[in-house]
């Protein structure tokens, strides 16, 4: 068994855990983050991509609105490379109550959320696909954020401050002695080895799984109510700004332009198991109908991929446990000393990706207070590695890069302009990585063909470059295509059926991938 000893163990490698491990390390504690999969593979990799301006909450949740407004400014400064400052509109669609826009403007003024009403003509000039029947439009400072880039930025910053990041390690037990946490046990899922991490403190940042982690320490049940939401990526950027309906938060009322696609979402349904988030046919139709309200003809554009995530909502006594839409989005830190008589552990839940840095500041402040020491939080002041220039991401960045290397470099993924070198460099730096790990970094297979062309090219290149043997390459390709398929089958209609038929012919008809030799060792994770 491998043994480590640190001051603080952070459990969960989503945005919250990454923000927390960065903050802990920057305050001078020795720390290790433990994540059972890759970083950002939980809710953080399955969200809507919106960097909130606070506009969404000015009427329904003023406290969250204030937090979002201030964190939006901070993140745009310290995590610039993960953010695209698109701006956004809240629009009153036909049938929506036009007086809600007045409540919105009053709420924005009260909460300090920047908002400005613009003429319908200006909104339609800037976003020509918008419903021409809109009666009001309010401009806000919404943006879009790449959750994976945000998490890696925070994790790399933490590493620079001495933190260790253990991915593909599952926490199995939290050891306690005389009412105090003493160690965390986990299993390395790639090697099967057991790891024991002795520590003074555990910060439980496991999102919708936080209740399971708290139970491993013997705490009373933590009521995290997973609220499942589905999202659908549509072909192309149908809009260039984030488009919100100017109504009380509801299902399918936001369209987010993210990289080369647009994402419509989302729903909010209470579920029991955050590991089992099935997408129902009715929800897909609901999203397409909602898109049609914002963009007439929405259904004619091609749906590329659907996915679901579970909000880690903390149960609020004021609303029924089944009504996740109206549970507070606010963050909550649970003190296990006062609650369970267990020293050395705090749990955090709720919040949003936009407020991840502030969540980290709150829980680490609480930990310092319990340890009886004061150490300043410096995360708002210092940019993460790669964001020092303060330049935010532009959708044209990859095109710009390819302008420079187009004569020397082969393009492997035309949809996302991923070059051969980008792929082989990433493979060389992560020999144990799966194609899905690389997808999150390079956007391999995330464009209109959903891997139809690039996945087999990438497999051939990996073999050719000697990074993989044929057995592992076959296994990784099959796993990658299986995972792409999970997000494809719920939205098979119209042009996507034709694309899928073509892909299927390439995979099965030409390459007979189904009958490739089965790997002797399991590559699935
Ligand atoms: C549908 C939907 C849309 C959303 N849209 C937005 C949006 O547009 N903007 C926004 O700001 N916020 C949005 N949110 C909220 C935001 O995504 C979440 O608040 C945030 O990602 C939560 O991050 P987290 O780190 O707390 O949880 P997670 O990202 O879920 O991280 C928890 C981690 O714990 C790990 N874990 C679990 N069990 C173990 C174990 N035993 N051992 C080790 N690790 C373990 C998991 O693998 C996971 O990676 C959305 C949420 C949902 C569900």
Report domain extents, the chain.
Answer: 2-43+148-224+328-371, 65-144+225-314, 397-515
Cis peptide before 266 (omega within 30 of 0): yes
- 19 Cβ below 6 A of ligand 1: no
Which pLDDT band holds residue 318 (cuts at 50, 70, 90)? Answer: very low
Q: Which atom of ligand 1 is nearest to the CA of 213?
A: 41
Could you write out the DSSP letters of every residue in 244-297?
EESSSS-TT-EEEEETTEEEEE---EE-S-TT--PPPHHHHHHHHHHHHHHSTT
pLDDT for 12-36, tens place per residue? 999 999 999 999 999 999 999 999 9
pLDDT for 289-311, tens place per residue? 999 999 999 999 999 999 999 98
The terminus-to-terminus CA distance of the chain in angstroms comes to 22
Residues whose CB falls within 8 Å of the CB of residue 275, separated by 6 or more in sequence, listed in order: none
CA distance 134 to 141: 20
- 148 Cβ below 6 A of ligand 1: no
* Cα-based angle 183, 214, 199 (whole degrees, multiple of 5): 20
- Overall size of the chain counted in residues: 525
Chosen CATH of 65-144+225-314 out of 1.20.150.20, 3.30.9.10, 3.40.50.150, 3.40.50.720: 3.30.9.10
Task: Please determine, for residue 274, whether its predicted confidence score (pLDDT) is greater than 50.
Answer: yes
pTM of the model: 0.94
Q: Distance, CA 44 to ligand 1 centroid (Å)?
A: 4
- 268 Cβ below 6 A of ligand 1: no
CA distance 418 to 421: 8
CA 480, 485, 491, 497 torsion-angle sign: positive
CATH class as words, domain 2-43+148-224+328-371: alpha beta
CB 105 within 8 A of CB 140: no
What average pLDDT does range 265-276 have in this prediction?
90
Which pLDDT band holds residue 317 (cuts at 50, 70, 90)? Answer: low
How, if at all, do strands 115-118 and 143-145 pair?
Answer: unpaired
Task: Please determine, for residue 245, whether its predicted confidence score (pLDDT) is greater than 80.
Answer: yes
- 216 Cβ below 6 A of ligand 1: no
Q: Which atom of ligand 1 is nearest to the CA of 49?
A: 8
Which pLDDT band holds residue 320 (cuts at 50, 70, 90)? Answer: low
Task: Please determine, for residue 520, whether its predicted confidence score (pLDDT) is greater than 80.
Answer: no
pLDDT for 400-419, tens place per residue? 999 988 888 899 999 999 99
- Report pLDDT for 524: 44
Average per-residue pLDDT in the chain?
Answer: 93
- Report pLDDT for 523: 46
Between 522 and 240, the more confident residue is 240
Which residue puts its alpha carbon closest to atom 33 of ligand 1? 12
CB 33 within 8 A of CB 166: yes
- 329 Cβ below 6 A of ligand 1: no
pLDDT for 70-128, tens place per residue? 999 999 999 999 999 999 999 999 999 999 999 999 999 999 999 999 999 999 999 99
pLDDT for 460-476, tens place per residue? 999 887 778 888 888 89
Task: Please determine, for residue 316, whether its predicted confidence score (pLDDT) is greater than 70.
Answer: no
% of the chain at pLDDT higher than 70: 96
Q: Distance, CA 187 to ligand 1 centroid (Å)?
A: 21
Q: Distance, CA 29 to ligand 1 centroid (Å)?
A: 24
Task: Please determine, for residue 181, whether its predicted confidence score (pLDDT) is greater than 90.
Answer: yes
- Report pLDDT for 322: 54
Q: Distance, CA 34 to ligand 1 centroid (Å)?
A: 15
Q: Distance, CA 66 to ligand 1 centroid (Å)?
A: 21
Which pLDDT band holds residue 435 (cuts at 50, 70, 90)? Answer: very high
Q: Which atom of ligand 1 is nearest to the CA of 41?
A: 49
| 65-144+225-314 shares the fold of 2-43+148-224+328-371 | no
CB 24 within 8 A of CB 166: no
Q: Distance, CA 430 to ligand 1 centroid (Å)?
A: 24
Cα–Cα distance list, 299 to 265, 296, 416 (Å): 14, 8, 23
């Amino acid at each position: 068994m491998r043994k480590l000893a640190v001051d603080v163990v952070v459990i969960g490698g989503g945005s919250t855990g990454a923000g927390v491990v960065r903050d802990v390390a920057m305050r001078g504690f020795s720390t290790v983050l433990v994540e059972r999969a890759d970083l950002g593979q939980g809710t953080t990799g399955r969200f809507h991509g919106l960097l909130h301006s606070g506009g969404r909450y000015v009427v329904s949740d003023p406290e969250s609105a204030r937090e979002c407004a201030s964190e939006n400014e901070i993140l745009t400064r310290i995590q610039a490379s993960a953010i695209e400052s698109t701006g956004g509109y809240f629009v009153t669609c036909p049938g929506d109550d036009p007086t809600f826009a007045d409540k919105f403007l009053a709420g924005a003024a009260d909460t300090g959320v920047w908002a400005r009403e613009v003429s319908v003509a200006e909104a339609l000039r800037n976003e020509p696909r918008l419903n021409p029947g809109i009666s009001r439009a309010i401009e806000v400072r919404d943006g879009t954020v790449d959750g994976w880039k945000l998490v890696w930025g925070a994790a790399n910053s933490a590493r620079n401050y001495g933190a260790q990041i253990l991915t593909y390690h599952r926490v199995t037990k939290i050891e306690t002695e005389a009412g105090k946490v003493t160690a965390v046990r986990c299993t390395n899922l790639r090697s099967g080895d057991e790891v024991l991490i002795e520590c003074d403190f555990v910060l439980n940042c496991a999102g919708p799984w936080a209740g399971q982690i708290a139970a491993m320490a013997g705490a009373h049940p933590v009521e995290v109510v997973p609220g499942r939401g589905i999202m659908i990526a549509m072909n192309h950027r149908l809009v260039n700004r984030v488009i919100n309906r100017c109504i009380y938060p509801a299902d399918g009322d936001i369209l987010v332009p993210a990289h080369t696609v647009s994402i419509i979402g989302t729903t909010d349904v209470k579920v029991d198991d955050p590991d089992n988030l099935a997408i129902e046919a009715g929800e897909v139709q609901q999203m397409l109908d909602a898109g049609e309200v914002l963009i007439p003809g929405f259904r004619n554009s091609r749906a590329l991929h659907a996915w679901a995530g579970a909000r880690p909502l903390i149960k609020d006594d004021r609303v029924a446990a089944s009504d996740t839409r109206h549970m507070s989005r606010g963050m909550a830190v649970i003190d296990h000393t006062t609650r369970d008589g267990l020293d050395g552990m705090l749990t955090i839940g709720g919040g949003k990706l936009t407020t991840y840095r502030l969540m980290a500041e709150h829980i680490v402040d609480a930990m310092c207070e319990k340890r009886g020491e004061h150490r300043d939080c410096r995360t708002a002041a210092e940019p993460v590695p790669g964001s020092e220039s303060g330049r935010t991401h532009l959708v044209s960045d990859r095109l710009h890069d390819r302008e420079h290397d187009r004569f020397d470099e082969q393009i492997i993924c035309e949809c996302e302009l991923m070059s051969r070198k980008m792929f082989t460099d990433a493979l060389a730096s992560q020999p144990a990585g799966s194609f899905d790990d690389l997808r999150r970094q390079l956007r391999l297979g995330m464009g209109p063909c959903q891997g139809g062309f690039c996945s087999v090219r990438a497999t051939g290149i990996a073999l050719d470059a000697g990074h993989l043997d044929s057995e592992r390459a076959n296994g990784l390709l099959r796993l990658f295509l299986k995972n792409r398929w999970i997000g494809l089958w719920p939205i098979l209609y119209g042009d996507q059926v034709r694309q899928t038929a073509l892909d299927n012919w390439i995979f099965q008809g030409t390459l007979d991938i189904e009958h490739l030799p089965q790997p002797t060792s399991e590559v699935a994770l």
